[in-house]
Structure 1
Amino acid sequence: MTVAASGPVFSLREIPFSYRGSWFGFSPVVAQNTYARDVHLVSHQTGMHPILRLAPSADSEVTATPHRLTWSRADGRIDLAYENADTVRLRGRGLGLSLLAADPVLTPFSGPYFYQDPADGSFVFTVYQTGRRYRVTVLAGQAEARGTQALGTAERGVVLSGEWEIAVEEYETARAPYTRTDDFERVAEAARAEFDAFTAAVAPWRSDRTPAAELAAYVLWSATVRPAGFVTRPAVLMSKHWMDKVWSWDHCFNAIALADGLPGLAWDQFRLPFDHQDEAGALPDSVTHSEILYNFVKPPIHGWALRHLPPAAEPEKVYRLLERWTGFWLTARRVPGRELPHYQHGNDSGWDNATTFDPERVVETADLAAFLVLQMRELARRAPDPSAAARWSGAADRMRDALLAELWTGDRFVARGAHSGRTWPSSSLLDLMPIVLGDELPEPVHTALAARIAAHLTAFGPATEHPESEHYQDDGYWRGPIWAPSTVLIEDGLRRAGHAELADEISARFRGLCERSGFAENFDARTGEGLRDRAYTWTASAYLILAAAHERRHEQRGERRHEQRAQPADTPA
């Protein structure tokens, strides 16, 4: 990542070019770990679908900044900018462009149909996969249409040459003909101003000490979509690559990152999964445009997250939602007669394949109990009356006491099979996550956890599997790589437990990792290489959360030094 006067410059192979509110973006990434030669318009309505292929008439260099996408060579240039969430403008000077259907095959149940609208002369792709239309309106220059009304396999699209300009829109069934209201440069500058305002809101503290803050803000801004389908609120998707959903713990980190500067958008992130809470009180595993999945859940970190959010506009509503979510764990996920709840699969924990779940899958784990203790503490704090507060405080005490009595061995936490009742340790960082309880843990317990966490540290942060474990894998998902959520939760718990020096070190290493390797879904713990989806919003949010806190501490230390210097020297007797 480099920074130019117009903002950070980034690779489209890492981060798609998009715009706040839009359901499409521009990227050569056309499927999971699949990279095309040309940049594509990729829509995320009804899933991830490459729609249009943008092929310049000659080899050219592609450059992306938050407000402008450019193809350039010595004798020509193409620029692209968003006019609004569903419309982009493109112009070319000395470099032509073929704008072609990404899928050349049309069948009754797949592919694009391409025609010229006799009403206004525009060219329209109607695409089965998204159920949307993509209209190309020629504003200037020469345009040659290919494959209009063709059936079967054909090249379909528009070839532009000379000095040209077009508008491309995504819409449903029909809309008025496109009308140009501003020239291209004003469109691009308006997009830049919108992004700059977003960055100023979410990262007003940014400085030379936080060089990746602006790009982190762009990852969030560009992955935001407007309400559509099952997405009931403005939502930050986890990515506008293939991880184009909202999972029911990922959203918490995005909410926290937005909380100070954009509290309304932050609360939208927090509330979105609760809009789909089921009758049992459970949250869905994930929500996206055309799908809600309930086959798994995600860990109840929502009480912890609420500690980092501003006051709610509907506090009683938030209390009731959290009460139902907590009640699900206390009723549907406890063996009769036992105090501690269980996961039914590693996916429920968010740590899908962590080695904690190797012996058995239906497991009582220490992290789950710790999260619920925090959640019940938050319910007690928000309770509408003293009796409810006392009830939740008592429930939290009982679960904390059971956690320590039943899963703490004297130097570590173990997991317990919900069916078998047997216990086992693992070399997974998951076993150390009760550090989120902070100073609610006895001093010997949090001190022992801190020492074990330190043993997981590589040069880049806490590996999710101990680096010396026989089960460690460099690209093993939760069996080795560094992840943003575990890092933020651990850093916060360590700090509240009084282990500030270790928390500072973890924060510094993870921030340095993002500044070096971007905002990948996870990172190789040994090399720092970004892995899997390379534009993951909870990673960008983790950077913003840690960087903002670091800057606040830096400012506070400076204020203390200033106060000390300002104090008069003691006068000798």
Structure 2
Amino acid sequence: MTAPFTMPRSRLLVFRESDGVRVHTSEYERSLDQCRVLDRLEVVDGAGHVLPVADVQPHRIRFAGVTLTFDGLRALSIGGDASARVRLVFPDGSTVEQPVGSGLRIDVADRGALVSAQPAAAHEDALAVLEREWDAWFDRCPRVREDLQDMAAFCWWVLGANIVELPALEGARAIVPSKIGYVGLWQWDAYFIAVGLRHGDPELAREQLELAFRFPRENGQLPDVVHEQGVLATSDDLPESDRATLRRARSQVADPTAPVPLTKPPLAAWALRKVLEAEDAPEWAAAQLERVIRSQDWWFAGPERNGSDLDGDGLPEYGHPYSSGLDDSPVFDGPIPTTAPDLAAYLVQQDREIAALAARFLPGHDVAPHLARAERTAALLMERLWDPAERRFIARGPGSGDDATGHDGERIASDTVVGLMPLRVEGLPQDARTALIEAIDDPRRYALEWGLPTVSAADPDFSSERMWRGPIWINTSALIAEGLETAGEPERARALREQTVHLVIHGGGPHEYFNPRTGFKAEHATTAFAWSAALFIDLAVELSR
């Protein structure tokens, strides 16, 4: 009920529906309602009573004496009590009822279903094949602390369940954020997923990064999404549903007059380093690093190269809320493009990560320009985005500022998690470090019972339920924990990690985001969310050392 019954690489999803189940396919930018295969599948005994779902394992669903499993990627198999009947209700309202007999097979094609009889041995074979596949997957599940192991196993299941094949890319395996509504490889998600996946399947972790890096634009920009129909790299590629959402939010970039690049924050080198910590792959690393370097240069390129330093002041901007990863943050309620402290912090650390990786994997590559640019960016971060009076980092929009600092750009007052990300910058001045730690410790702002909200509880835009406007996300909590480590606060870092893993356990699984007041899934959050699962595993491994 909190996650679909599915299998690695399949696009079929089976959900509990009263005493039966319903079946959908999983497709890019199509809702579950648009992808209905069966509105109801019920098992009925000889007396006409509907048999409820008795229990579920990764390889099968059991209705008393009848079981349902997968038979390949696009078919379901039913077998068991020959006297039972299976009742199928199709989306057009038609109903079919057939005896289980020796067994039934339901083939799915083009969101339709064809039911046929099959030998009893075929069903037993299908059960055994899927059980072996899941057993092999679980054999790779990292072993962690006893109190974290059950949830780690569930999170490892989520990662396997969210594998899809992308046929247009020679059958590449992408772990999608969720087969419920997020069927594609989002760049940021791929980084977080790879970081958790590396602990049990380094090869598949590398495959996620390779897909994220495979389709750079000519200027080096990495696309936001790689999906089965192509890539999403500019606002021209957005589906109409996204444009409609932006219009409802009155976003200034709902219908831009010129295409706006779409990407995700620069954590590519960070993810690359972490994946290589699990298993060295020098030739592969060198090829990927070349693309990461070009992407980093794109961030600092001016508008003449369609880059992201849109005003040429040395501090790149987010040209679109989607490129921040925090689409609905109140930081983007104001004018866009936005100069944000999290982006500056990511860029500082990415140049430093690139320098360290290049020294190892790209002999002869001059690392001095990366280190020099990191120092310049760090200085600009403090000079332009640090507010010494309020002792916090703030974002700025375009235009001329008129506040006491005299800096260009309209001041964006929202107190959000983007202002805490500079904690990840090595060498941040002591006063700034102290102020950010105090904010994290302040129960009026960020020290809420269940964890670190994405907007300060004292901010007028705080909401416990609205995406990126207050709920806890596992990725921002994990990044801030790293920032506390960087700031010389290992005990605080560990405490935040412990709080985060216990939130997932309390909340019932790796949901997309959590209500910070209750610790449960926010109403509109997706369940079985891959980056939450991956980062739970990464945090659990770290806490088990």
TM-score of the aligned structures, taking structure 1 as reference length: 0.77
Between Structure 1 and Structure 2, which shows a larger proportion of helix residues?
A: 2
Report deviation, 1:319.
1.5
From 389, 393, 398, give the equivalent of 1:418.
Answer: 398
Q: Does the alignment pair 1:538 with 2:531? A: yes
Identity %, equivalent residues: 27
From 404, 411, 418, give the equivalent of 1:430.
Answer: 418
From 219, 235, 238, give the equivalent of 2:177.
Answer: 238
2:133 and 2:227 map into 1 onto residues whose CA distance is 25
From 340, 344, 352, give the equivalent of 1:369.
Answer: 344
CA 1:415–1:237: 2 relative to 1, 3 Å: same
- 3-state SS in 2 of match to 1:249: helix
1:325 and 1:36 map into 2 onto residues whose CA distance is 49
Residue aligning to 1:114: none
Q: Does the alignment pair 1:41 with 2:23? A: yes
From 203, 209, 224, give the equivalent of 2:163.
Answer: 224
Between Structure 1 and Structure 2, which shows a larger proportion of strand residues?
A: 1
CA 1:233–1:446: 2 relative to 1, 3 Å: farther
CA 1:189–1:448: 2 relative to 1, 3 Å: farther
Residue aligning to 2:491: 501
Q: Does the CA contact (< 8 Å) of 1:243 and 1:533 recur in 2?
A: no
1:98 and 1:181 map into 2 onto residues whose CA distance is 19
Q: Does the CA contact (< 8 Å) of 2:269 and 2:289 recur in 1?
A: no
2:411 and 2:136 map into 1 onto residues whose CA distance is 52
Residue aligning to 2:382: 404
Residue aligning to 2:243: none
From 322, 326, 337, give the equivalent of 2:292.
Answer: 322
Matches within 5 A, 1:188-227: 188-205=127-144, 207-227=146-166
**Residue correspondences, number:** 476
Q: Does the alignment pair 1:528 with 2:514? A: no
CA 1:464–1:496: 2 relative to 1, 3 Å: same
1:57-110 residue CA offsets vs partner (Å, 9 max, x unmatched): 3433323221211234xxxx43112243334321142542123433x1xxxxxx
From 279, 284, 304, give the equivalent of 2:270.
Answer: 304
Q: Which moved more, 1:221-230 or 1:416-425?
A: 416-425
- 3-state SS in 2 of match to 1:394: helix
Q: Which moved more, 1:391-400 or 1:442-451?
A: 442-451
Structure 1 stretches of 5 or more lacking a match?
1-10, 29-34, 105-153, 553-573
From 443, 446, 450, give the equivalent of 2:437.
Answer: 450
From 146, 165, 168, give the equivalent of 2:106.
Answer: 168
Q: Does the CA contact (< 8 Å) of 2:174 and 2:184 recur in 1?
A: no
Report deviation, 1:180.
6.5
1:78 and 1:447 map into 2 onto residues whose CA distance is 61
From 320, 338, 341, give the equivalent of 2:316.
Answer: 341
From 87, 103, 109, give the equivalent of 1:98.
Answer: 87
Structure 2 stretches of 5 or more lacking a match?
236-261, 302-306, 401-408
1:253-294 residue CA offsets vs partner (Å, 9 max, x unmatched): 110111132111001111212222222222222233335322
- Paired residue type of 1:523: F
Q: Does the alignment pair 1:354 with 2:329? A: yes
1:354-382 residue CA offsets vs partner (Å, 9 max, x unmatched): 12223322111111011111211122123
CA 1:366–1:189: 2 relative to 1, 3 Å: same
- Paired residue type of 1:502: R
Report deviation, 1:181.
9.9
- 3-state SS in 2 of match to 1:212: helix
Higher-Rg structure is: 1
Residue aligning to 1:490: 480
2:145 and 2:98 map into 1 onto residues whose CA distance is 42
Report deviation, 1:386.
4.9
1:347 and 1:201 map into 2 onto residues whose CA distance is 34
Report deviation, 1:38.
5.1
Report deviation, 1:185.
4.3
- Paired residue type of 1:99: L
Q: Does the alignment pair 1:262 with 2:211? A: no
Report deviation, 1:250.
0.9
1:422-456 residue CA offsets vs partner (Å, 9 max, x unmatched): 3343221121112222x332333223212212231
1:432 and 1:232 map into 2 onto residues whose CA distance is 40
Report deviation, 1:495.
1.6
2:118 and 2:80 map into 1 onto residues whose CA distance is 19
Q: Does the CA contact (< 8 Å) of 1:238 and 1:538 recur in 2?
A: yes
Residue aligning to 1:64: 56
1:414 and 1:231 map into 2 onto residues whose CA distance is 45
TM-score of the aligned structures, taking structure 2 as reference length: 0.81
- Paired residue type of 2:60: R
1:65 and 1:527 map into 2 onto residues whose CA distance is 29
CA 1:291–1:24: 2 relative to 1, 3 Å: farther
1:460 and 1:210 map into 2 onto residues whose CA distance is 21
Report deviation, 1:529.
1.7
1:41 and 1:231 map into 2 onto residues whose CA distance is 27
Residue aligning to 2:356: 381
Matches within 5 A, 1:122-161: 155=94, 158-161=96-99
1:283 and 1:359 map into 2 onto residues whose CA distance is 26
Q: Does the CA contact (< 8 Å) of 1:523 and 1:530 recur in 2?
A: yes
Q: Does the CA contact (< 8 Å) of 1:250 and 1:538 recur in 2?
A: yes
- Structure 1 stretches (4+) deviating beyond 4 angstroms? 35-38, 170-173, 177-183
- 3-state SS in 2 of match to 1:235: strand
- 3-state SS in 2 of match to 1:85: coil
- Paired residue type of 1:402: L
2:208 and 2:184 map into 1 onto residues whose CA distance is 12
The alignment's C-alpha RMSD in Å is 2.6
1:520 and 1:507 map into 2 onto residues whose CA distance is 16
CA 1:512–1:60: 2 relative to 1, 3 Å: farther
Q: Does the alignment pair 1:475 with 2:479? A: no
